[in-house]
Amino acid sequence: MLRVALVGAGGMARHYRRAYTTLPEVEWSVAIDLDPGQLELCRQEGAKKIGTDFSLALAPEIDLVDVSTPNHLHEAQAVEALAAGKHVLLQKPIANTLESADRILAAAAQSRGILGMYMSSYANPLVWEIKKIIDGGFLGKIQSIRARDSHRGGLSTKAGPNNWRGSKQQTGGGAFVQLSIHAINLMQWWLDSPITEIFAFSDNRCCPNIGGDDVTVAVTKFASGAFGTFDSGYASEGLSREIYGTEGLVRLIHEDKDIEIQLDRPFKGDFLDYTTPNKPQLFAGPKFDLQDTNNPHNPQRMFVEAIRAGRPPFMSGAMGRRDLAVVSAAYASSQPPMMPVKLPPPGPMI
């Protein structure tokens, strides 16, 4: 039996926490949060114990600590859990600073526990279909990519002590670190190529209660030679991923629910059957739920399986650090003298 402590049971965790009640040989032992309403919901949903004290996650019987708290709390909580020998699944971004990320990785290197990143994108079956299209050479040579991650939540964000997104320091930035980090991670995995150079424009134009940027647009270069643009915001809508190659294109659109394909040859995957070469074809994607542990690509399921198999996690802490380095370089490039920033080659991703 693998016993789980969920730290930060509200926020993003609301969308996936019940997965710990359906994974085989997994017990949701404790939910930890400062919101009594969320704790009561967790109790109703299956948490064996609820509380407000992080020390509950360090109890001897706990095997896995899921850290889904605000960014600035990640370092202290992850380091303490790893020092106690726990496996740690860490919500993106890995931390609010690269220095904090490095200390988390150092703790992981000394721990008998495994450190992994929770990235929700991979629960979408279409993400894996696109990977098959790219790896199968159906797009030819990748020329460029585009990704947009934006919503208007910043316009209605209220000021107050509980608004950690109102602090640039606590967040580690703004919209770009919170939203575009999804696409930064995904595109590097799809292309199997790290980002090597980036330049960005970044500003807060509309959201006074967001501490960092509410709009950022970045241009990147990948090690493969492909170019990319990443666009994020808290004051306008839009979520999409686009990949363009010499033999076709793929567009994940409509909040990642649908996919448009145009290829030079037919493609048949697990869900897609493209039969109209050189003509665009739109497919509705399969429905998926972050709580669904029957999905082989459910992030918690993949992490638990890695623990049991004694293998590295699908998304490692090193990958989380790499993604944060890209974000940090984008922010640095947007400051005077406003120059592109080259990123050093990332180390091993294990």
In a domain, 350, yes or no: no
Secondary structure (3-state) at 219: strand
In a domain, 63, yes or no: yes
The C-alpha atoms of residue 91 and residue 88 are separated, in whole angstroms, by 10
Predicted local distance difference test score (pLDDT) of residue 167: 87
In a domain, 243, yes or no: yes
Q: Are 172 and 94 in contact (CB under 8 A)?
A: no
Residues 117 and 134 in one domain: no
Would you give the distance in Å from CA 132 to the centre of its chain?
A: 20
Residues 30 and 150 in one domain: no
Predicted local distance difference test score (pLDDT) of residue 160: 79
CB atoms within 10 A of CB 70: 16
Q: What is the pTM of this model?
A: 0.96
Q: For the sheet with 26-32, list strands across it.
A: 49-51, 26-32, 2-7, 64-67, 87-91, 115-118
Sign of CA dihedral 277, 278, 283, 288: positive
DSSP label at residue 120? G
The C-alpha atoms of residue 332 and residue 41 are separated, in whole angstroms, by 41
Residues 102 and 12 in one domain: yes
Residues 218 and 161 in one domain: yes
Residues 252 and 161 in one domain: yes
In a domain, 347, yes or no: no
The C-alpha atoms of residue 118 and residue 130 are separated, in whole angstroms, by 20
Helix axis angle for 74-83 and 98-109, nearest 10°, is: 10
What is the tally of structural domains in the chain? 2
Predicted local distance difference test score (pLDDT) of residue 307: 98
In a domain, 143, yes or no: yes
Residues 145 and 52 in one domain: no
Residues 56 and 145 in one domain: no
In a domain, 29, yes or no: yes
Residues 54 and 195 in one domain: no
Residues 103 and 149 in one domain: no
In a domain, 89, yes or no: yes
CATH number at residue 266: 3.30.360.10
Predicted local distance difference test score (pLDDT) of residue 346: 81
In a domain, 294, yes or no: no
Predicted local distance difference test score (pLDDT) of residue 19: 97
Residues 233 and 336 in one domain: yes
Across the chain, which has 350 residues, the per-10-residue mean pLDDT values are 96 95 97 96 98 98 98 98 98 98 98 98 97 98 98 91 85 97 98 98 96 97 98 97 98 94 97 97 94 96 98 97 98 97 82
Q: Which residues pair with 261 in a beta bridge?
A: 250, 281
Residues 207 and 336 in one domain: yes
Q: Are 32 and 56 in contact (CB under 8 A)?
A: yes
Residues 116 and 183 in one domain: no
Q: Which domain holds residue 217?
A: 125-287+323-342
CATH number at residue 18: 3.40.50.720
What is the residue-wise DSSP string for 131-194?
A: HHHHHTTTT-SEEEEEEEEE-SGGGSPPPSTT-GGG-HHHHTSSHIIIIIHHHHHHHHHHHT--
Predicted local distance difference test score (pLDDT) of residue 350: 63
